[in-house]
Amino acid sequence: MEKDLLKMDDLSKEDILDILNLADQLKYEQKHGIEHPHLKGKSLGMIFEKSSTRTRVSFETGMYQLGGNALFLSNRDLQIGRGEPIEDTARVLSRFIQGIMIRTFSQEEIEKLAKYSSIPIINGLTDDEHPCQVLADLMTIRENKNILEGLKIAFIGDGNNMANSLMIGCLKVGMNFSVASPKDYTSSDKYLNRAREIAEEEGVNFTVTTSPFEAAKDADVLITDVWASMGQEEEHNLRAKAFEGFQINKELMAVANKNAMVLHCLPAHRGEEITAEVLEEHADSIFDESENRLHAQKAVLVKLMK
């Protein structure tokens, strides 16, 4: 495994499966009261330029359960907020702590942070990638289906950070992947071309379409996300019109496999990308997915910081 987790493509198939296996073990131990202080005496700096519920609570709790501690650092708390270059912040923090998780806008910023840091950097979310969420998604699918390889995943919605990381991660572990987005809201060619390369290497199917029903047909798992991500709020009305018909609802579920599961990284806008009815029917899986952020991220922390 690389020193950092900046994007899903940093992980090989073997890396992903190793993380998931360790996450399963850590979850079992936590549920049975077995302590696992793998990171005793170590500190994780958590830089937040985007607000968060699941990311902050799961990383902070995870470090505590691993015997270490976490420092919450907003851009108001750091000199970054007053114009200190990211490369200087990286070199300073590298002398105080043993790892950094950052949740920010620019993928370039996190790449620069990693370049100048001597400690592991973990991507808690950027506009381009959300690898920690995808590891939790894969963990949840495997718990539910007992397998990953050969399943069909359908992502319905914006070609955003979730779509980008999902297509790379799912294809790498041998899953078939379909993505349905409106014409002007697909993932960038960089991600689509890389996904096609991986699909060819793994011998699996990768489909890009503007038809949610084509993507969802015979799917084992349906996944969606909000139509307007953080920082795109002013586009909400425009996007709501563009994404008409890209909702996970009973009609879409009818073309998926009978026992298809539904995932959503949350927060969800009921009545937009997913109906309240479908969300509540699949609430157990969706909130397992949310909980598994804790366990998957603990596995990442151990792999990178131990």
Catalytically annotated residues: 103, 130, 133, 225, 265, 293
- Report whether 170 belongs to an annotated binding site: no
Please report, for residues 9, 119, 135, 138, 209, the alpha-carbon distance to residue 102 in angstroms, rounded to integers and kept in the order given. 18, 13, 17, 22, 32
Backbone angles phi, psi at 64, to 5 degrees: -60, -45
In b/e form, how buried is each residue of 159-188, taking b as 16+ CB within 10 angstroms? bbbbbbbbbbbbbbbbbbbbbbbbeebbbe
Please report, for residues 104, 127, 235, 238, 277, the alpha-carbon distance to residue 227 in angstroms, rounded to integers and kept in the order given. 19, 13, 9, 10, 18
- Report whether 25 belongs to an annotated binding site: no
- Report whether 107 belongs to an annotated binding site: no
Dihedral angle at the C-alpha atoms of 59, 51, 8, 188, nearest 10 degrees?
Answer: 170
- Report whether 52 belongs to an annotated binding site: yes
Type of residue at 18: D
- Report whether 103 belongs to an annotated binding site: yes
Distance between the two ends of the chain, CA-based, in angstroms?
13
Contact status, residue 174 vs residue 181, Cβ threshold 8 Å: no
Q: What is the distance between the alpha carbons of residues 124 and 101, in angstroms, rounded to a whole number?
A: 6
- Report whether 266 belongs to an annotated binding site: yes
Long-range own/partner contacts, residues 21-30 (CB < 8 A, 24 or more apart)? 22/299, 22/302, 22/303, 23/135, 23/139, 23/292, 23/295, 23/296, 23/298, 23/299, 24/139, 24/143, 24/295, 26/295, 26/298, 26/299, 26/302, 27/292, 27/295, 30/65, 30/295
- Report whether 297 belongs to an annotated binding site: no
- Report whether 270 belongs to an annotated binding site: no
- Report whether 56 belongs to an annotated binding site: no
- Report whether 229 belongs to an annotated binding site: yes
- Report whether 293 belongs to an annotated binding site: yes
Radius of gyration of the chain (CA): 19
- Report whether 55 belongs to an annotated binding site: yes
- Report whether 38 belongs to an annotated binding site: no
- Here the tokens at position 283 are 């609430």
- Report whether 117 belongs to an annotated binding site: no
List binding-site positions: 52-55, 79, 103, 130-133, 161, 225, 229-230, 265-266, 293
Q: From the annotation, which residues make up the binding site for carbamoyl phosphate?
A: 52-55, 79, 103, 130-133, 265-266, 293
Q: Residues marked as binding for L-ornithine?
A: 161, 225, 229-230
